[in-house]
Amino acid sequence: MRSARSPHASEPPGACAMRNLYRFVEPVILYMLKCKGHSYGYDLAGELSRYAFTGAAIEKAALYRTLRHLEDNGFVVSGWEFHATGPARRIYSLTPQGERHLEEWAALLNDLSRSMSRFVARVRSAHENHKEVKAGAAALPAR
């Protein structure tokens, strides 16, 4: 495991996540590693768009940096894998802390999702009320 660099290294996602969401790269990578068992950067990069839940493309650099960040925090571990052909691969897999971290992410995203849909509902009802108020204040059939 690599040594800690981030000032938020030991914070739970709830404390740190809203500080920096890492564009949701982190939970997606954790989930992919959970599904695949283990994988490496180049492979993950190829499938990120299938797993990502935002339309935004995920940068290759962001992917590698997030993997390093996750390892700094003990959520994944890595080791080199050598093949007869092609360059070596750094294979990552989840640690038990990483499993928990993914669950924390899921809880956080669940809360955020609910809060967001509540907010959207409020915005849309405000929009409806606004239209009604305008129509009522005008007290005229049409315009």
Partner DNA sequence: TGTCCTTAGGTGCAGCTTGCCTATAGGTGC
Partner DNA sequence: GCACCTATAGGCAAGCTGCACCTAAGGACA
Q: What residues make contact with a copy of itself under the rule CB under 8 A?
A: 14, 18-19, 21, 23, 27-28, 31, 34-35, 53-56, 102-103, 105-106, 109-110, 112-120, 122-124, 126-127, 130
**Structure-block tokens of residue 28:** 């997606």
Q: Which residue has 């405000």 as its token pair?
A: 126
Minimum distance, C-beta of residue 31 to DNA, in the bound complex (Å): 17
Q: Which option in a copy of itself, DNA, none does residue 36 bind, with CB closer than 5 to 8 A by kind?
A: none
Minimum distance, C-beta of residue 40 to DNA, in the bound complex (Å): 3
Of 29, 30, 48, 67, the residue at the interface with DNA (CB under 7 A) is 67
Distance of CA 141 to the CA centre of its chain: 49
- N- to C-terminal Cα separation, the chain: 68
Of 7, 37, 136, 141, the residue at the interface with DNA (CB under 7 A) is 7
Q: Which option in a copy of itself, DNA, none does residue 60 bind, with CB closer than 5 to 8 A by kind?
A: DNA
Q: 139 in the Ramachandran plot: left (φ > 0), alpha (ψ -120 to 50) or beta?
A: left
Q: Which residues of 84-116 are buried (b: 16+ CB within 10 A; e: fewer)?
A: eeeeebebbebbeebeebbebbeebbeeeeeee
**Residue 80: enclosing H or E segment and its boundaries?**
strand 76-81
Of 51, 77, 89, 95, the residue at the interface with DNA (CB under 7 A) is 89
**C-beta closer to a copy of itself: residue 90 or 99:** 99
